[in-house]
Amino acid sequence: MALILGLESSCDETAAAVVTSDRQVLSHKLAGQETEHRPYGGVVPEIAARAHVEVLTPLTQAALQEAGVTLDQIDAIAATAGPGLIGGVMVGLVTGKALAMAAGKPLIGINHLEGHALSPRLADPELAFPYLLLLVSGGHCQLLEVRGAGDYRRLATTIDDAAGEAFDKSAKLLGLGFPGGPAIEAAARIGDPGAVPLPRPLLGSAEPHFSFAGLKSAVLRARDAGVHSAEDIAASFQQAVIDCLTDRTRRAIGRAPGMNALVVAGGVAANGAIRAALQGLAAQHDLRFVAPPLWLCTDNAAMIAWAGAERFAVGLSDPLDMPARARWPLDPTAEKARGAGVKA
Ligand code: KG4
Ligand code: ZN
């Protein structure tokens, strides 16, 4: 059995965790930065990087202590090496390198998206490769064939905003607060999902890509029209997102035969209505449905440690001069999505 220390600092959560190769989470520590970023209504990269510097070392010590292990007993150190806000990624990766060098242990640089992609296997020992993954987070919205650790085929991505970004921006427009995903989900519970007619971008289009920028603009217009309550707009927005996610995922299911399961991961996978809709879609296609527990959906270090465990098991590690990367596609062969809203 291998013991892996994981570090995460790519966005606005600082996290450290100790996980074993047989799926025990011995500790997982998390320090959010919501109070620091709330006045700005979004994550400020400089503030995030500084906050990571302040808390990562004590948090790592706390994770080791809670796990009841010393650094010497750890078999490898896994740290997020990208993609993300570069200042934060550098803080975590440099910390990981320093610990690896000091303790003479291998460093495993983890793609944050791989952390999300493999997280369902930490919670579910039955989940075997290959599986179809809907990865929905604040920075990404992708459909991927997960074939093994380090082996991904991207079927689709967003041509503009990520799903979580749409939740966050819409919540801000509606004055529902930050972070937007949980705020919209709560408001949607008391709103009417049929109240406001909102667009479903790319619904029915041949490629399973996503687009959310137009939906966000429609939320702005609905707000300014002043006819509907924020709760009704939130519920209608969430329903539009659900319709897009299920339609696009249905398209991807048709293109990815031989999958063992339909899996959802990433922060937006914490949304109960989205989980329920995808579960229904999986049932229609006789596919197993797997969604990690809520704490494992949003950013955390257990998923980074687990991705490290999966890589360690197949003999992968990285040199100490591995670079931090702001951008880092999981499938380097994937072509750029084409569409009106493509970002430069
Ligand atoms: O995976 P994650 O923690 O960070 C990234 O890697 O981006 O995802 C954060 C995103 C945010 O946009 C947040 O609003 C969204 O996940 N989110 C949710 C919910 N909880 C978090 N979106 C919808 N419903 C939720 N319950
Ligand atoms: Zn994430």
Q: What is the DSSP track for 234-300?
A: HHHHHHHHHHHHHHHHHHHHHH-TT-SEEEEESGGGG-HHHHHHHHHHHHHTT-EEE---HHHHSS-
For residue 256, CA distances in Å to 150, 189, 208, 287 come to 18, 34, 11, 12
pLDDT confidence of residue 8:
98
Cα of 8 from ligand 2 centre, angstroms: 9
Containing structural domain, residue 230: 128-291
Looking at the domain assignment, is residue 16 inside a domain? yes
Q: Give the ligand 1 atom nearest the CA of 171.
A: 14
Q: Are residues 243 and 175 in the same domain?
A: yes
Q: What is the domain-level CATH number for residue 250?
A: 3.30.420.40
**Bridge partners of 79?**
7, 109
Looking at the domain assignment, is residue 319 inside a domain? no
Q: Are residues 184 and 215 in the same domain?
A: yes
Measured by CA distance, the residue closest to atom 2 of ligand 1 is 267
**For ligand 1, is residue 115 a contact (CB within 6 Å)?**
no
- Burial (CB count <10 Å: 0-12, 13-18, 19+), residue 333: exposed
Q: Are residues 216 and 250 in the same domain?
A: yes
Q: Could you read off the pLDDT tens digit of each residue along the chain, which spans 344 residues?
A: 999 999 999 999 999 999 999 999 999 999 999 899 988 878 899 999 999 999 999 999 999 999 999 999 999 999 999 999 999 999 999 999 999 999 999 999 999 999 999 999 999 999 999 999 999 999 999 999 999 999 999 999 999 999 999 999 999 999 998 889 999 999 999 999 999 999 999 999 999 999 999 999 999 999 999 999 999 999 999 999 999 999 999 999 999 999 999 999 999 999 999 999 999 999 999 999 999 999 999 999 999 999 999 999 999 999 999 999 999 999 999 987 766 555 54
- Give pTM, 2 decimals: 0.96
Cis link prior to 39 (omega < 30° from 0)? no
Q: Are residues 188 and 245 in the same domain?
A: yes
**For ligand 1, is residue 161 a contact (CB within 6 Å)?**
no
**For ligand 1, is residue 266 a contact (CB within 6 Å)?**
yes
**For ligand 1, is residue 32 a contact (CB within 6 Å)?**
no
Q: Are residues 137 and 283 in the same domain?
A: yes
Q: Which of 111, 169, 178, 298 to mutate to test the pocket of ligand 1 (most atoms within 8 A of CB)?
A: 298
The pair of three-digit structure tokens given for residue 204, joined into one six-digit string: 């029915």
Q: Are residues 283 and 306 in the same domain?
A: no
Q: Cα(278)–Cα(257) distance, rounded to whole angstroms?
A: 17
Which residues crowd ion ligand 2, with CB under 5 Å? 137, 299
Looking at the domain assignment, is residue 340 inside a domain? no
**For ligand 1, is residue 238 a contact (CB within 6 Å)?**
no
pLDDT confidence of residue 344:
41
Looking at the domain assignment, is residue 334 inside a domain? no
Looking at the domain assignment, is residue 327 inside a domain? no
Q: Are residues 100 and 245 in the same domain?
A: no
Q: Cα(325)–Cα(87) distance, rounded to whole angstroms?
A: 10
Looking at the domain assignment, is residue 195 inside a domain? yes
- Which ligand is the nearest neighbour of the Cα of 85? 1
Q: Are residues 144 and 169 in the same domain?
A: yes
Structural domains counted in the chain: 2
Q: What is the DSSP track for 174-220?
A: TT--SSHHHHHHHHHHTS-TTSS----TTTT-SS--B--HHHHHHHH
Cis link prior to 323 (omega < 30° from 0)? no
**For ligand 1, is residue 168 a contact (CB within 6 Å)?**
yes
Cα of 291 from ligand 1 centre, angstroms: 14
Measured by CA distance, the residue closest to atom 13 of ligand 1 is 181
Looking at the domain assignment, is residue 321 inside a domain? no
**For ligand 1, is residue 179 a contact (CB within 6 Å)?**
yes
Q: Are residues 43 and 145 in the same domain?
A: no
Looking at the domain assignment, is residue 331 inside a domain? no
Q: Which of 89, 268, 296, 328 to mutate to test the pocket of ligand 1 (most atoms within 8 A of CB)?
A: 268
Query: Which residue type is seen at 279?
Result: Q
**For ligand 1, is residue 299 a contact (CB within 6 Å)?**
yes
Q: Are residues 242 and 304 in the same domain?
A: no
Cα of 182 from ligand 1 centre, angstroms: 8
Q: Are residues 136 and 113 in the same domain?
A: no
Q: Are residues 259 and 282 in the same domain?
A: yes
